[in-house]
Homo-oligomer: A and B are copies of this chain.
Amino acid sequence: MSLANPNGPTIGVFDSGFGGLTVLRALLPLIPGARYLYLGDTARLPYGAKSQQTIARYALSSAAFLLEQGIEMLVVACNTATALALDDLKQALPIPVVGVIAPGTAAAASANADTNVLVLATTATVQSGAYTRACTALGLTAYEKACPLLVPLVEEGWIDHPVTAEVLRIYLTEALEEAPNATTLLLGCTHYPLLRPMIERTLTALNHPLKIIDSATATAHAAAALIPASAQSAHATCTFYATDSIEKFQRLGTSFLGQPLPEVHLIDLGG
């Protein structure tokens, strides 16, 4: 495949919104020579409340757009789309497709010998059961905790706010009552890496330290493993597309990417 392109590979990164920018952020130092095309399907988010058929249709049309732009690998930087559309994407696309769930789970499996995994995720991801299936397949015991307020709190910008600390304390206390033997905490949503410092402080305050696995970072490593080292020399370029709400994408995306976002291009995928 053309991933050995000496000018660096062209990598598509796809999410329903801007949360997947945390995956792109993790990719940049690992595959610095790539040309990245990021697509946030903001017109049709959140995917969480939609049926599997609908999400697969959205994901396929988003992937088709990126394929037309010349991507040679697709990173599905969205837990819901990975849970509900990864198989369809892998079947439909002639290029490697990497989702966020398997890499995060594999990282959890290698983190501790005897692993009980606590997964924090959105309601939609928890309801899909995808992390439990992935953990079970690797011999791990999973407990999934839905944390529906964390995405709105991050999007409100309350990253380091006492209300967010209290919500995290409540969610983690409830989760640890259900999963007292957990040794590993898996962040199963692309918004959650922004809360990692506060999650660490909360676990310390609860006197229950856990090994934290960030599926954004794990996914970036899985994608980098598919890229020949020879392609990892030049400087990255990033192009951003969204299907709606350009202003919010640009404003909030900066803290997700960890650097200012350049122009975001508005595209129309219909429906």
Contacts and interface: CB of A to CB of B under 8 A. Distances in A.
A46 B45 CA distance: 8
Nearest to A152: B152
A189 to B, nearest CB: 14
A43 B52 CA distance: 12
Nearest to A155: B148
A271 interface: yes
Interface string A111-143: 000000000000000000000000000000000
A92 interface: no
Interface stretch (A63-71, A74-82, A163-171, A203-211): A163-171
Nearest to A42: B49
Interface in A26-58: 42-43, 45-46, 49-51, 54
Contact of A148 (B45, B49, B156, B162): B156
A42 B124 CA distance: 14
A170 B153 CA distance: 14
Interface residues of A, number: 25
Contacts of A46: 46
Contacts of A201: none
Contact of A245 (B43, B45, B49, B248): B49
Contacts of A43: 49-51, 54
Contacts of A155: 148
A48 to B, nearest CB: 9
A148 B43 CA distance: 18
A271 B268 CA distance: 13
Contact of A51 (B151, B156, B244): B244
A45 B45 CA distance: 8
A270 interface: yes
A149 interface: yes
Contacts of A42: 49
Nearest to A170: B163
29 contacts: A42-B49, A43-B49, A43-B50, A43-B51, A43-B54, A45-B49, A46-B46, A49-B244, A49-B245, A49-B248, A50-B244, A51-B244, A54-B244, A148-B152, A148-B155, A148-B156, A149-B149, A149-B152, A149-B153, A151-B152, A152-B152, A162-B166, A163-B163, A163-B166, A163-B167, A163-B170, A166-B166, A270-B271, A271-B271
